[in-house]
Amino acid sequence: MGNADIDFKRNAAMWVRAAVALAGLALATACDADGDGDETPAQSGGVSAPAQGGTTGASEPDASTGAPVGTTTTDDGADGTAGDTMDPESPVKLDVGQVPDAPDFSNCGAPSPVVCDDEDDDMMHALGLNCDGGPQLDGVYTGGVEALYIHEGNLGTSVPAAYPPREGDKVVILSTGIATEILTPGAYTSTGTSSPDPGFALPAPLNMSAVSPFEDCAENPALIGTGDCSNTLAMQWSQGQGANDYVEIRINAEVPAETFAFSYEFAFFSEEYPDFFMTQYNDMYVAWLESEQWTGNISFDEAGNPISLNAGFLDNLPGSPELIGTSMSDNAGTKWLVSTAGVTPGEDIEIVFALWDLSDDSLDTVVMLDNWQWGCEGGPPITIPG
């Protein structure tokens, strides 16, 4: 993105916020209806769920979903496709927010977590891993040096603390810009760290294609390995023009004996909200699992949507007390959420925590990670409040 485009996006955001302050009304801006590619702010009524109806992109159908590219139009939720997750009234997907129906795991012997992140700023220690006597996993970070930060204590200054560490004293922060900037109250965070050309493909094994327009892998295990088992990613990915400022943490592990699941906790924030909500700048966070039981996204919001600007239900909106003392006080974020996914004892698995800007490299998006654990109750992935 050129300097002129970045200045335009910054000026557009500042103008919108000034208008909100003067009028005392919910922010409402318009999408780029003339198709000239200008980055103009999107419609936002200050709501906490995606708007219904309309499109944000071309009308040609997406090959992986059969739905129009960029559409936000909902259907009746009957076919289980990714489009259904855009409707806050549609049925909950993958038992999100529910206790999963699971077989008897009374013989579980999952290793207990051990806390040691007070010793150093090691990424794996901050996640709750690789401490003496605790679970040992291989983890590798890929991304800009400044896009990863190990933070101690609560994020922000809200009382009571809205984002305290979920285990130990520290959390991992990933950003599509400079990770420490989220700690600066009211900062305008917009840094391109790698700036690949639009259309930049995601690394293997990430595959945005839905496994089926009719069923997911929980309904048909034969689909495992053919794409995103959750069928939640294709529509969100297709709303933009490729990944920029991509960062990831990749974890490989052999599942211990008598262990049937793992879990971790996360919170997602974006500078893109509200000015570019429901546009092509649909920044995304994906937790991708490669296992015998699942290949695809395992982290969702409380409505079963994937974690992206346009699909995600952002609990804490501009002005929320939970965001006080952070750079996102005029933007939005989720609360702490915990994702759990079933695995098979003895198998080798790979988990990729991936974050990127969609369509451009300006306006940063952040994810906070903590409290990775082996567990007992397996089954399809679920996400519930932390």
DSSP of 292-309: SS-EEE--B-TTS-BEET
Residue predicted with more confidence, 47 or 379: 379
Please tell me what DSSP assigns to residue 210: B
Mean pLDDT for 345-353 is 98
246 pLDDT exceeds 60?
Answer: yes
Strands 261-270 and 337-342: antiparallel
Which H or E element spans position 137?
none
What tens digit of pLDDT does each residue of 88-120 get? 333 334 444 444 454 555 688 999 999 999 999
Q: Reply yes or no on whether the pLDDT at 3 is more than 50.
A: no
d(CA 12, CA 365): 18
Q: Please tell me the predicted confidence (pLDDT) of residue 106.
A: 67
Cβ atoms of residues 337 and 384 within 8 Å: yes
Question: What local confidence, expressed as pLDDT, does residue 266 receive?
Answer: 98
The answer to whether residue 225 scores a pLDDT higher than 70 is yes
343 vs 163: CA distance, rounded Å = 28
Which pair of tokens denotes residue 244?
């920029």
Answer positive or negative: Cα dihedral of 111, 115, 120, 123: positive
Token pair belonging to 240: 């933009």
pLDDT at position 220 is 97
pLDDT at 198: 57
What DSSP line would sit under 52-89, residue for residue?
-S-BSS--SBPTTTSSBTTB-----S-S--GGGGG-TT
Is a pLDDT exceeding 70 seen at residue 87? no
pLDDT (average), residues 299-309: 92
What pTM does this model have? Answer: 0.76
pLDDT tens sequence across 127-174: 999 999 999 999 999 999 999 999 999 999 999 999 999 999 999 999
As a whole number of angstroms, the distance between CA 353 and CA 126 comes to: 15
Name the band, by pLDDT with cuts 50, 70 and 90, for residue 384. very high
Q: Are 265 and 386 in contact (CB under 8 A)?
A: yes
How buried is 89 (Cβ within 10 angstroms: 0-12 exposed, 13-18 middle, 19+ buried)?
exposed
Q: What is the pLDDT of residue 10?
A: 45
Return d(Cα 67, Cα 50) in angstroms, integer.
Answer: 17
pLDDT at 312: 76
Residue 142's pLDDT is 95
For residue range 256-283, what is the model confidence (pLDDT) as tens digits? 999 999 999 999 999 999 999 999 999 9
Distance CA 175, CA 365 (A): 6
- Identify the band that residue 196 occupies on the pLDDT scale cut at 50, 70 and 90: low
Percent of the residues in the chain that have a pLDDT greater than 70, as a whole number: 71
Question: Taking residues 293-305, what's their average pLDDT?
Answer: 94
C-alpha separations of 316 from 46, 139, 154, 204, 312 in Å: 11, 31, 16, 33, 12
Contacts 24+ apart (CB under 8 A), 154-157: 155/182, 155/183, 155/267, 155/326, 155/368, 156/322, 156/323, 156/324, 156/325, 156/326, 157/185, 157/324, 157/325
For residue 325, pLDDT beyond 80:
yes
Q: What's the CA angle centered on 113, arms 107 and 118, to 5 degrees?
A: 175
Determine how many CB atoms are found less than 10 A away from the CB of residue 46: 15
Residue 321 has pLDDT above 60, yes or no: yes
* pLDDT over threshold 90, residue 210: yes
pLDDT given at position 76:
37
Per-residue CA distances from 339 to 152, 263, 385 (Å): 22, 5, 9
Q: Is the pLDDT of residue 208 over 70?
A: yes
Residue at 237: amino acid letter = W
Q: What pLDDT score does 125 carry?
A: 98
Q: What is the pLDDT of residues 21-77, one digit of tens each?
A: 333 333 333 334 344 444 444 333 332 232 323 333 333 333 333 333 333 333 333
What's the pLDDT score for residue 90? 34
